[in-house]
Structure 1
Amino acid sequence: MNAHAAARIAPLHENDPRSHDPVLEELVDFVGYRPNALLTMARKPGVVPALLQLLGVTLRGDGLLTQALRFLIAAEAARGARCRYTTTHLVHAAHHVGVDWDKLAALPSYRDDPRYTQQERKALAIATAGGSLPVREPGQAITQARQVFTEEEIVEIVSCVAMVGWFNRWNGLMGSELEPVPSEALAYVPWLQDLEV
Protein backbone atom coordinates (compact mmCIF):
# COMPACT_ATOMS: atom_id res chain seq x y z
CA MET A 1 0.00 0.00 0.00
CA ASN A 2 1.52 3.34 -0.97
CA ALA A 3 1.30 6.63 0.91
CA HIS A 4 -1.60 7.86 -1.22
CA ALA A 5 -3.81 4.77 -1.18
CA ALA A 6 -7.36 5.24 0.04
CA ALA A 7 -8.14 4.48 3.66
CA ARG A 8 -9.82 1.15 4.37
CA ILE A 9 -12.77 3.04 5.92
CA ALA A 10 -13.31 6.57 4.69
CA PRO A 11 -13.10 9.47 7.13
CA LEU A 12 -16.24 11.51 7.67
CA HIS A 13 -16.71 14.43 5.29
CA GLU A 14 -15.90 17.74 6.93
CA ASN A 15 -19.56 18.77 6.51
CA ASP A 16 -20.69 15.83 8.66
CA PRO A 17 -21.69 17.25 12.07
CA ARG A 18 -19.93 14.33 13.81
CA SER A 19 -16.61 15.69 12.51
CA HIS A 20 -16.92 18.96 14.44
CA ASP A 21 -16.54 18.02 18.10
CA PRO A 22 -15.30 21.08 20.07
CA VAL A 23 -12.28 19.14 21.35
CA LEU A 24 -11.38 18.22 17.76
CA GLU A 25 -11.72 21.86 16.70
CA GLU A 26 -9.16 22.85 19.35
CA LEU A 27 -6.73 20.26 17.96
CA VAL A 28 -7.34 21.53 14.41
CA ASP A 29 -6.45 25.02 15.64
CA PHE A 30 -3.22 23.61 17.12
CA VAL A 31 -2.01 21.50 14.17
CA GLY A 32 -3.62 23.43 11.31
CA TYR A 33 -5.53 20.60 9.60
CA ARG A 34 -8.19 17.92 10.20
CA PRO A 35 -6.52 14.54 10.83
CA ASN A 36 -8.15 11.85 8.71
CA ALA A 37 -7.66 9.26 11.45
CA LEU A 38 -9.78 11.29 13.86
CA LEU A 39 -12.44 11.83 11.20
CA THR A 40 -12.72 8.05 10.90
CA MET A 41 -12.74 7.59 14.70
CA ALA A 42 -15.60 10.12 14.86
CA ARG A 43 -17.90 7.43 13.43
CA LYS A 44 -17.92 5.96 16.97
CA PRO A 45 -19.48 8.56 19.32
CA GLY A 46 -17.32 9.45 22.29
CA VAL A 47 -13.99 8.11 21.00
CA VAL A 48 -12.55 11.39 19.70
CA PRO A 49 -13.21 13.50 22.82
CA ALA A 50 -11.96 10.72 25.11
CA LEU A 51 -8.82 10.16 23.06
CA LEU A 52 -8.08 13.87 22.72
CA GLN A 53 -8.50 14.33 26.45
CA LEU A 54 -5.89 11.61 26.99
CA LEU A 55 -3.68 13.22 24.33
CA GLY A 56 -3.98 16.51 26.20
CA VAL A 57 -2.87 14.89 29.46
CA THR A 58 0.05 12.98 27.94
CA LEU A 59 1.55 14.94 25.04
CA ARG A 60 0.13 18.44 25.15
CA GLY A 61 -0.35 21.08 27.79
CA ASP A 62 1.38 21.21 31.15
CA GLY A 63 3.80 18.51 32.17
CA LEU A 64 7.01 17.84 34.01
CA LEU A 65 8.81 17.43 30.68
CA THR A 66 8.76 19.95 27.88
CA GLN A 67 6.17 19.51 25.18
CA ALA A 68 9.01 19.22 22.64
CA LEU A 69 10.55 16.27 24.51
CA ARG A 70 7.16 14.59 24.90
CA PHE A 71 6.55 14.79 21.14
CA LEU A 72 10.07 13.48 20.46
CA ILE A 73 9.35 10.52 22.75
CA ALA A 74 6.07 9.89 20.95
CA ALA A 75 7.72 10.13 17.52
CA GLU A 76 10.38 7.59 18.52
CA ALA A 77 7.73 5.21 19.87
CA ALA A 78 5.79 5.49 16.60
CA ARG A 79 8.99 5.00 14.59
CA GLY A 80 9.56 1.74 16.45
CA ALA A 81 6.13 0.55 15.31
CA ARG A 82 7.01 1.56 11.72
CA CYS A 83 3.71 3.41 11.25
CA ARG A 84 4.35 6.16 8.70
CA TYR A 85 1.05 7.98 9.26
CA THR A 86 1.41 8.21 13.05
CA THR A 87 5.14 8.94 12.97
CA THR A 88 4.79 11.66 10.34
CA HIS A 89 2.09 13.35 12.40
CA LEU A 90 4.23 13.26 15.53
CA VAL A 91 7.37 14.46 13.74
CA HIS A 92 5.36 17.32 12.26
CA ALA A 93 3.91 18.15 15.70
CA ALA A 94 7.39 18.03 17.28
CA HIS A 95 8.57 20.56 14.70
CA HIS A 96 5.44 22.62 15.36
CA VAL A 97 6.43 22.91 19.04
CA GLY A 98 10.03 23.87 18.30
CA VAL A 99 12.17 20.84 17.39
CA ASP A 100 14.43 21.57 14.38
CA TRP A 101 14.01 19.49 11.22
CA ASP A 102 17.71 18.54 11.39
CA LYS A 103 17.28 17.10 14.86
CA LEU A 104 14.18 15.18 13.76
CA ALA A 105 16.05 13.84 10.73
CA ALA A 106 18.68 12.50 13.15
CA LEU A 107 16.17 10.73 15.41
CA PRO A 108 17.18 7.18 14.34
CA SER A 109 20.75 8.03 15.48
CA TYR A 110 19.77 9.73 18.75
CA ARG A 111 22.10 7.50 20.81
CA ASP A 112 25.20 8.98 19.15
CA ASP A 113 24.06 12.21 17.55
CA PRO A 114 25.40 15.34 19.30
CA ARG A 115 22.08 17.13 18.73
CA TYR A 116 20.60 14.94 21.50
CA THR A 117 21.39 15.46 25.16
CA GLN A 118 22.07 12.61 27.58
CA GLN A 119 18.69 13.27 29.19
CA GLU A 120 16.91 13.08 25.82
CA ARG A 121 18.75 9.85 24.98
CA LYS A 122 17.58 8.19 28.18
CA ALA A 123 13.97 9.26 27.57
CA LEU A 124 14.12 8.10 23.96
CA ALA A 125 15.55 4.73 25.03
CA ILE A 126 12.28 4.12 26.90
CA ALA A 127 10.39 5.03 23.73
CA THR A 128 12.56 2.61 21.71
CA ALA A 129 11.93 -0.15 24.26
CA GLY A 130 8.18 0.39 24.18
CA GLY A 131 7.77 1.22 20.50
CA SER A 132 7.05 -2.35 19.49
CA LEU A 133 5.61 -5.46 21.07
CA PRO A 134 6.87 -7.35 22.87
CA VAL A 135 8.50 -4.49 24.76
CA ARG A 136 12.30 -4.76 24.46
CA GLU A 137 14.42 -4.62 27.64
CA PRO A 138 12.29 -2.08 29.55
CA GLY A 139 14.14 -2.69 32.82
CA GLN A 140 17.44 -1.50 31.41
CA ALA A 141 15.91 1.62 29.83
CA ILE A 142 14.06 2.60 33.00
CA THR A 143 17.05 1.89 35.25
CA GLN A 144 19.19 4.21 33.12
CA ALA A 145 16.45 6.84 33.03
CA ARG A 146 16.44 6.92 36.85
CA GLN A 147 19.87 8.55 36.65
CA VAL A 148 18.33 11.74 35.29
CA PHE A 149 14.55 11.53 35.82
CA THR A 150 12.25 11.25 38.83
CA GLU A 151 9.73 8.43 38.98
CA GLU A 152 6.96 10.92 38.14
CA GLU A 153 8.89 12.02 35.05
CA ILE A 154 9.41 8.39 34.00
CA VAL A 155 5.65 7.83 34.35
CA GLU A 156 5.16 10.83 32.05
CA ILE A 157 7.60 9.35 29.50
CA VAL A 158 5.83 5.98 29.56
CA SER A 159 2.44 7.70 29.21
CA CYS A 160 3.66 9.32 25.97
CA VAL A 161 4.79 5.94 24.63
CA ALA A 162 1.53 4.25 25.62
CA MET A 163 -0.56 7.02 24.05
CA VAL A 164 1.10 6.36 20.70
CA GLY A 165 0.09 2.69 20.84
CA TRP A 166 -3.55 3.57 20.18
CA PHE A 167 -2.66 5.59 17.09
CA ASN A 168 -0.21 2.99 15.72
CA ARG A 169 -2.83 0.28 15.85
CA TRP A 170 -5.66 2.45 14.57
CA ASN A 171 -3.72 3.78 11.60
CA GLY A 172 -2.10 0.46 10.78
CA LEU A 173 -5.50 -1.23 10.63
CA MET A 174 -7.38 1.61 8.94
CA GLY A 175 -4.68 2.69 6.49
CA SER A 176 -5.29 6.36 7.32
CA GLU A 177 -4.39 8.61 4.41
CA LEU A 178 -1.70 11.19 5.15
CA GLU A 179 -2.86 14.80 4.79
CA PRO A 180 -0.92 17.52 2.88
CA VAL A 181 0.06 19.61 5.94
CA PRO A 182 1.95 16.96 7.93
CA SER A 183 3.28 15.50 4.65
CA GLU A 184 5.71 18.44 4.50
CA ALA A 185 7.77 16.54 7.08
CA LEU A 186 8.63 13.94 4.41
CA ALA A 187 10.79 16.50 2.61
CA TYR A 188 12.87 17.24 5.73
CA VAL A 189 12.97 13.85 7.45
CA PRO A 190 13.97 11.27 4.81
CA TRP A 191 13.72 8.19 7.07
CA LEU A 192 9.94 8.65 7.22
CA GLN A 193 9.79 7.25 3.68
CA ASP A 194 11.22 3.95 4.95
CA LEU A 195 8.32 3.29 7.31
CA GLU A 196 5.31 1.13 6.57
CA VAL A 197 2.12 2.98 5.73
Structure 2
Amino acid sequence: MNSQTIARIVPLHESDPRSRDPVLEELVDFVGYRPNALLTMARKHGVVPALLNLMGVTLRGDGLLAESLRFLIATEASRRARCCYTTTHLVHAAHHLGVSWDKLAALPSYQEDPRYTEQERKALAIATAGGSLPVRNPAQAMGQAKQFFSDEEIVEIVSCVAMVGWFNRWNGLMGSVLESVPSEAMVHVPWLCELEI
Protein backbone atom coordinates (compact mmCIF):
# COMPACT_ATOMS: atom_id res chain seq x y z
CA MET A 1 0.00 0.00 0.00
CA ASN A 2 1.14 3.52 -0.71
CA SER A 3 2.59 5.14 2.40
CA GLN A 4 0.99 8.56 1.72
CA THR A 5 -1.00 9.40 4.87
CA ILE A 6 -1.70 13.13 4.52
CA ALA A 7 -4.71 14.26 2.54
CA ARG A 8 -3.91 16.70 -0.25
CA ILE A 9 -6.94 18.78 0.80
CA VAL A 10 -7.82 18.65 4.50
CA PRO A 11 -11.32 17.25 5.18
CA LEU A 12 -13.75 19.48 7.02
CA HIS A 13 -13.87 18.96 10.77
CA GLU A 14 -16.96 16.94 11.65
CA SER A 15 -18.22 19.88 13.72
CA ASP A 16 -18.34 22.06 10.58
CA PRO A 17 -22.03 22.54 9.63
CA ARG A 18 -21.19 21.74 5.99
CA SER A 19 -20.36 18.18 7.07
CA ARG A 20 -23.80 17.58 8.58
CA ASP A 21 -26.01 16.99 5.56
CA PRO A 22 -28.97 14.69 6.42
CA VAL A 23 -28.09 12.30 3.57
CA LEU A 24 -24.54 12.02 4.96
CA GLU A 25 -25.90 11.35 8.45
CA GLU A 26 -27.91 8.42 7.06
CA LEU A 27 -24.73 6.99 5.50
CA VAL A 28 -22.83 7.44 8.78
CA ASP A 29 -25.58 5.44 10.51
CA PHE A 30 -25.14 2.67 7.89
CA VAL A 31 -21.32 2.39 7.90
CA GLY A 32 -20.58 3.51 11.47
CA TYR A 33 -18.08 6.29 10.76
CA ARG A 34 -17.77 9.62 8.94
CA PRO A 35 -15.79 9.10 5.67
CA ASN A 36 -12.91 11.54 5.14
CA ALA A 37 -13.58 11.65 1.40
CA LEU A 38 -17.08 12.99 1.97
CA LEU A 39 -15.76 15.55 4.45
CA THR A 40 -13.55 16.85 1.65
CA MET A 41 -16.37 16.78 -0.91
CA ALA A 42 -18.52 18.80 1.51
CA ARG A 43 -16.34 21.83 0.73
CA LYS A 44 -18.31 22.10 -2.56
CA HIS A 45 -21.96 22.84 -1.82
CA GLY A 46 -24.34 20.24 -3.21
CA VAL A 47 -21.80 17.53 -4.11
CA VAL A 48 -22.37 15.27 -1.09
CA PRO A 49 -26.17 15.08 -1.29
CA ALA A 50 -26.10 14.66 -5.08
CA LEU A 51 -23.50 11.90 -4.92
CA LEU A 52 -25.11 10.09 -1.99
CA ASN A 53 -28.51 10.26 -3.68
CA LEU A 54 -26.96 8.67 -6.78
CA MET A 55 -25.29 6.07 -4.57
CA GLY A 56 -28.68 5.33 -3.04
CA VAL A 57 -30.11 4.66 -6.50
CA THR A 58 -27.20 2.53 -7.73
CA LEU A 59 -25.64 0.67 -4.79
CA ARG A 60 -27.98 0.88 -1.84
CA GLY A 61 -31.60 0.14 -1.09
CA ASP A 62 -34.13 -1.34 -3.48
CA GLY A 63 -32.91 -2.82 -6.73
CA LEU A 64 -33.29 -5.78 -9.06
CA LEU A 65 -30.04 -7.26 -7.73
CA ALA A 66 -29.24 -7.97 -4.09
CA GLU A 67 -27.50 -5.08 -2.37
CA SER A 68 -24.61 -7.39 -1.40
CA LEU A 69 -24.05 -8.29 -5.09
CA ARG A 70 -24.11 -4.62 -6.07
CA PHE A 71 -21.40 -3.91 -3.50
CA LEU A 72 -19.36 -6.89 -4.77
CA ILE A 73 -19.62 -5.47 -8.31
CA ALA A 74 -18.49 -2.04 -7.10
CA THR A 75 -15.65 -3.63 -5.13
CA GLU A 76 -14.33 -5.47 -8.18
CA ALA A 77 -14.53 -2.32 -10.33
CA SER A 78 -12.63 -0.36 -7.69
CA ARG A 79 -10.08 -3.17 -7.22
CA ARG A 80 -9.37 -3.04 -10.95
CA ALA A 81 -8.88 0.73 -10.64
CA ARG A 82 -6.38 -0.05 -7.82
CA CYS A 83 -7.85 2.54 -5.44
CA CYS A 84 -7.11 1.38 -1.90
CA TYR A 85 -9.31 3.90 -0.07
CA THR A 86 -12.45 3.28 -2.12
CA THR A 87 -11.97 -0.48 -2.37
CA THR A 88 -11.41 -0.85 1.37
CA HIS A 89 -14.63 1.07 2.03
CA LEU A 90 -16.53 -1.17 -0.39
CA VAL A 91 -15.08 -4.37 1.10
CA HIS A 92 -16.08 -3.17 4.56
CA ALA A 93 -19.62 -2.35 3.36
CA ALA A 94 -19.98 -5.69 1.52
CA HIS A 95 -18.99 -7.52 4.69
CA HIS A 96 -21.45 -5.37 6.64
CA LEU A 97 -24.12 -6.64 4.20
CA GLY A 98 -23.25 -10.28 4.87
CA VAL A 99 -20.49 -11.17 2.39
CA SER A 100 -17.93 -13.31 4.25
CA TRP A 101 -14.33 -12.20 4.69
CA ASP A 102 -13.25 -15.44 2.97
CA LYS A 103 -15.33 -14.67 -0.11
CA LEU A 104 -14.02 -11.10 -0.23
CA ALA A 105 -10.43 -12.34 0.15
CA ALA A 106 -11.03 -14.62 -2.86
CA LEU A 107 -12.31 -11.82 -5.12
CA PRO A 108 -9.17 -11.66 -7.33
CA SER A 109 -9.81 -15.31 -8.30
CA TYR A 110 -13.60 -15.08 -8.60
CA GLN A 111 -13.53 -16.75 -12.04
CA GLU A 112 -12.39 -20.06 -10.54
CA ASP A 113 -13.25 -19.80 -6.84
CA PRO A 114 -16.17 -22.05 -5.79
CA ARG A 115 -17.44 -19.38 -3.38
CA TYR A 116 -18.68 -17.44 -6.42
CA THR A 117 -21.69 -18.55 -8.44
CA GLU A 118 -21.69 -18.51 -12.23
CA GLN A 119 -24.16 -15.61 -12.12
CA GLU A 120 -21.86 -13.62 -9.82
CA ARG A 121 -18.92 -14.34 -12.13
CA LYS A 122 -20.76 -12.85 -15.10
CA ALA A 123 -21.69 -9.71 -13.14
CA LEU A 124 -18.14 -9.35 -11.85
CA ALA A 125 -16.73 -9.75 -15.37
CA ILE A 126 -18.56 -6.55 -16.32
CA ALA A 127 -16.94 -4.86 -13.32
CA THR A 128 -13.54 -6.19 -14.39
CA ALA A 129 -14.07 -4.88 -17.92
CA GLY A 130 -15.21 -1.44 -16.75
CA GLY A 131 -12.95 -0.97 -13.74
CA SER A 132 -10.10 0.51 -15.73
CA LEU A 133 -9.84 2.77 -18.74
CA PRO A 134 -9.96 2.07 -21.55
CA VAL A 135 -12.75 -0.42 -20.87
CA ARG A 136 -11.54 -3.95 -21.73
CA ASN A 137 -13.59 -6.46 -23.74
CA PRO A 138 -17.01 -5.01 -22.88
CA ALA A 139 -18.80 -6.88 -25.69
CA GLN A 140 -17.67 -10.26 -24.36
CA ALA A 141 -18.56 -9.45 -20.72
CA MET A 142 -21.95 -7.98 -21.64
CA GLY A 143 -22.78 -10.83 -24.05
CA GLN A 144 -22.04 -13.50 -21.46
CA ALA A 145 -23.98 -11.62 -18.76
CA LYS A 146 -27.10 -11.75 -20.95
CA GLN A 147 -27.26 -15.50 -20.27
CA PHE A 148 -28.10 -14.68 -16.63
CA PHE A 149 -29.41 -11.12 -16.48
CA SER A 150 -32.12 -9.03 -18.12
CA ASP A 151 -31.20 -5.77 -19.84
CA GLU A 152 -32.51 -3.87 -16.81
CA GLU A 153 -30.32 -5.91 -14.47
CA ILE A 154 -27.28 -5.29 -16.67
CA VAL A 155 -28.01 -1.56 -16.54
CA GLU A 156 -28.00 -1.91 -12.75
CA ILE A 157 -24.62 -3.71 -12.89
CA VAL A 158 -23.11 -1.02 -15.10
CA SER A 159 -24.52 1.71 -12.85
CA CYS A 160 -22.58 0.20 -9.92
CA VAL A 161 -19.37 0.21 -11.97
CA ALA A 162 -19.91 3.79 -13.14
CA MET A 163 -20.81 5.02 -9.65
CA VAL A 164 -17.57 3.79 -8.13
CA GLY A 165 -15.55 5.57 -10.84
CA TRP A 166 -16.34 8.92 -9.19
CA PHE A 167 -14.92 7.72 -5.89
CA ASN A 168 -11.81 6.17 -7.48
CA ARG A 169 -10.86 9.40 -9.18
CA TRP A 170 -11.76 11.60 -6.21
CA ASN A 171 -9.77 9.56 -3.71
CA GLY A 172 -6.84 9.01 -6.04
CA LEU A 173 -6.49 12.75 -6.59
CA MET A 174 -7.27 13.85 -3.02
CA GLY A 175 -5.23 11.19 -1.23
CA SER A 176 -8.11 10.48 1.15
CA VAL A 177 -6.80 9.02 4.40
CA LEU A 178 -8.35 5.71 5.40
CA GLU A 179 -10.31 5.72 8.65
CA SER A 180 -9.81 3.13 11.39
CA VAL A 181 -13.23 1.44 11.09
CA PRO A 182 -13.00 0.31 7.44
CA SER A 183 -9.27 -0.39 7.73
CA GLU A 184 -10.12 -3.50 9.78
CA ALA A 185 -10.93 -5.11 6.41
CA MET A 186 -7.20 -5.18 5.60
CA VAL A 187 -6.65 -7.78 8.31
CA HIS A 188 -9.11 -10.14 6.60
CA VAL A 189 -8.55 -9.27 2.93
CA PRO A 190 -4.77 -9.27 2.31
CA TRP A 191 -4.91 -8.13 -1.32
CA LEU A 192 -6.15 -4.71 -0.16
CA CYS A 193 -2.60 -3.97 1.04
CA GLU A 194 -1.35 -4.26 -2.55
CA LEU A 195 -3.48 -1.36 -3.83
CA GLU A 196 -2.55 2.29 -4.19
CA ILE A 197 -4.10 5.07 -2.10
| Residues 81, 131 of structure 1: 8 Å contact kept | yes
| CA-based RMSD | 0.9
Residues 64 and 3 (structure 1), Cα distance of their counterparts in 2 relative to 1, 3 Å cut:
farther
| Residues 126, 141 of structure 1: 8 Å contact kept | yes
| Residues 83, 171 of structure 2: 8 Å contact kept | yes
- Give distance in 1, aligned partners of 2:32 and 2:186: 17
- Give distance in 1, aligned partners of 2:91 and 2:2: 19
Per-residue deviation, 1:3:
4.7
- Give distance in 1, aligned partners of 2:54 and 2:22: 15
**% of aligned pairs identical?**
81
Aligned to 1:131: 131
Q: TM-score, normalised by structure 1?
A: 0.99
Consecutive aligned runs of 4 or more in structure 1 exceeding 4 Å deviation: none
- Give distance in 1, aligned partners of 2:161 and 2:118: 19
| Residues 4, 175 of structure 2: 8 Å contact kept | no
Per-residue deviation, 1:72:
0.1
Q: TM-score, normalised by structure 2?
A: 0.99
| Residues 78, 86 of structure 2: 8 Å contact kept | yes
Aligned to 2:23: 23
| Residues 3, 178 of structure 1: 8 Å contact kept | no
Q: Once the two structures are superposed, what CA deviation does each residue of 1:81-122 show, in whole Å capped at 9, x if it has no partner? A: 000000000000000001000000000000000000000000
State the AA in 2 paired with 1:127.
A
Aligned to 1:78: 78
Per-residue deviation, 1:167:
0.2
Aligned to 1:190: 190
Q: Which runs of 5+ in 1 are unaligned?
A: none
SS in 2 for 1:11: coil
Task: Tell me, yes or no, if structure 1 residue 62 matches structure 2 residue 62.
Answer: yes
